[in-house]
Amino acid sequence: MMLQRFFFILSVFVHSIFVSYGQDKPPVAVDDTVLFPVSPDMIMSFKIYPLSNDYSQDMHPIDVASVSFGSAGYGGVASDSTVELIGLHLEENYTITYRIRDKVNDLLSEPANIYLIAKNQSFDMLNINNINARINATSYHFCNYISGGYNQLNAYYECPKFSNNHTFSNLKLWIAGLDEFGNLHLTPPHFHGLGYHRYRSGPISYQYDSTFKDTWERVWTLYHTDIETHKNHFSNPGYEIPEPLLNWPGNGDTTIGQAWKLAPFKDLDQDGLYEPLEGDYPIIKGDQAIYFISNDDRGEYAADSLYFGVEIHGMAYAYDCPDDSIFQNTMFIDYQLINRSLHQYYDVFVGVKSNLGIGSPKDDYTACDTLLDAFFGYNADNYDAGINEPGYGYFPPAQAVSFLNQSLSHFITYFKHWWSEISGPQYPWDYYNSLKGKWKDESSITFGGIGYGGSQACDFQFPGDPTNPYAWSMYTASVDPEHQDFSVGSTGPFVMNPGDTISLELAILFARDYGGNNLSSVTLLKDRLKKLRAYYFTDSIPCNTILGTEDIKDEIDRPILIYPNPAKEHLHIELSSLEKINMDFELISITGSTLIQGTQGLKRGVNTITINCQNLPADLYILKLGFEESIIYRKVIIQ
């Protein structure tokens, strides 16, 4: 009996072994990781073959059975099990989930992941102080490439940083002018996620291929400490040059039509070639700087306008001044706009288009201050709910854009009355008119109300101080804040010959009065702007010696002698000129008021201009000298 039981148990055991070895097993899918570039261009097709590390436990053939693309987009699976993503426009890390199938037993694997890891060089965050702002390679800032800044949820101008509250959803340059035949040329005014009508990264070139894209679809981020370390240690054994410094775009490739001199650098041996291994180094402003180059040479345009042919060299920068509330809440953008076309342009206007949204964009007003060459946004009431609670809450801030080296010539805000004359531009000439302070029917801004349909034409909409109940502002005009759309502040007109450059430097400043209300934040904003502009004109900041760098000053300075300084009755300006040109001059108080101004024709050779200052009170003043291609500031003291 015992023997029979033994053989029975043995037979069951042997049978279970054979069954176990003969039973079909599901295939095994192994996770994959794929690097992809963050790009302003939509990737029309991106293929992944995930089966290379997957397998069948029974050595059977396998294929991809299903794919879940999630937020990465959409796509499909080809007959050879290649996973294809279609219309890919990714900015962050994403995960695709898939299963594989055993083609013999039809069993499915457990889910596996394809990790899409963003490899980014096409934008960076300026964040050395209290601001966290996204700077893009395409010159369209404070937003991601997908939304184009039309969605506040995708805004990237966070202040204070780490607060998840934003005051902009985008900022972009509009440039337009007429050529020698009266044809309209303009830079791309639109942005769409599909990639049409926008600036492209890199310098103007004859060749825009994959090599160009790999080289130029990027920004260069450097710190003042990087520059100082390189200057002191470039020849030391073991020193490793930071990648952005090593690959700084100092020179272009002239064999494919690029300009030779691009980003500014200190050329120690004066040979014109950027050689960081020989001690050359980038010239930057601020404690952190992000450099970008873009152009409009490849945009799509309507039949009644032409591309401009502008190359934009930009440097966004900020200072780390933790003990100064002005500079700790301010960033700057230095634009150099170069005419690379063969056209001579006239009546050129440059505009800064922005969607100001103080937390929630549905309860905001906009305004301008002509004395400060600035426009700004502020909350319509004393509580900002935000899109995601709590927003800024009580004591909402104000946010300004100030033109530092050019005058604000026009300011206009459009409204969400779709297809009406006061809604945003639709056609090329609409955009040009907006830069000249005109509505879509070519009528001028008029004083009072919303600025349309009145009898008194003007250049600036809502120039009054919102704290003044008698001044013209959105606040006193009782405009519905949900109806305001976006704003454009512009400067001009300019003449641009081939090769000419327009310089535009912006200060972007944030202010919040925690002890007041929405309007006292405006008062604080203007007070900070006055002080900031005084620092700019005197080339100084409270936590450093100068606002720029000595290297930059060396590159742009004309040989100018100002004497006596300090002066009592007369101030003399002596300078040399290679041609007959006009020079504008202004003597500006430390608060920003112009006290003396005029225009002087310069002859070839040495010129001396005398300013009578005997009626001015003793104080520090700013002397502003304006030439066709540049503006120069000097400090003078009147005793």
pLDDT in tens, 339-376: 999 999 999 999 999 989 898 888 899 999 999 999 99
* Residue 150 sits in the same domain as residue 281: yes
Q: What gap in Å lies between CA 364 and CA 485, rounded to an integer?
A: 10
* Residue 111 sits in the same domain as residue 129: no
Q: In what order do the strands lie in the sheet with 43-48?
A: 43-48, 83-88, 74-77
Residue 301: both structure tokens together? 């345009």
What is the full DSSP assignment across 531-577? HHHHHHHTT-BTTBS-SS-HHHHHHH---EEEESSSBSSEEEEEEEE
Residue 22: both structure tokens together? 């003969």
Identify the CA nearest to 540 among candidates 609, 462, 634, 474.
634
Segment among 74-78, 355-359, 514-518, 529-533 with least mean pLDDT: 74-78
Q: What is the pLDDT of residues 35-84, one digit of tens each?
A: 877 776 666 567 889 998 999 998 999 999 999 887 666 788 888 888 88
Domain count for the chain, please give it: 3
Asked if residue 3 is part of any domain, the answer here is no
* Residue 328 sits in the same domain as residue 308: yes
For residue 591, give its domain range.
Answer: 557-638
Looking at 119, 140, 170, the residue that finishes a domain is 119
* Residue 174 sits in the same domain as residue 316: yes
Handedness of CA 353, 359, 361, 363 (dihedral sign): negative
Asked if residue 313 is part of any domain, the answer here is yes
Asked if residue 148 is part of any domain, the answer here is yes
Length, in residues, of the chain: 639
* Residue 464 sits in the same domain as residue 338: yes
Q: What gap in Å lies between CA 128 and CA 289, rounded to an integer?
A: 9
* Residue 40 sits in the same domain as residue 135: no
* Residue 310 sits in the same domain as residue 446: yes
Asked if residue 552 is part of any domain, the answer here is no
pLDDT for 332 beyond 90 = yes
CA angle 507, 221, 190 (to 5 degrees): 60
* Residue 434 sits in the same domain as residue 307: yes
Asked if residue 471 is part of any domain, the answer here is yes
* Residue 415 sits in the same domain as residue 515: yes
pTM of the model: 0.78
Q: What gap in Å lies between CA 351 and CA 446, rounded to an integer?
A: 20
* Residue 226 sits in the same domain as residue 93: no
Asked if residue 12 is part of any domain, the answer here is no
Asked if residue 547 is part of any domain, the answer here is no
The answer to whether 266 and 554 are in contact (CB under 8 A) is no
Asked if residue 484 is part of any domain, the answer here is yes
The answer to whether 115 and 101 are in contact (CB under 8 A) is no
State the pLDDT at residue 546.
55
Q: How many angstroms from the chain centroid is the CA of residue 206?
A: 25
CATH number of the domain encompassing residue 89: 2.60.40.10
* Residue 110 sits in the same domain as residue 158: no
* Residue 111 sits in the same domain as residue 172: no
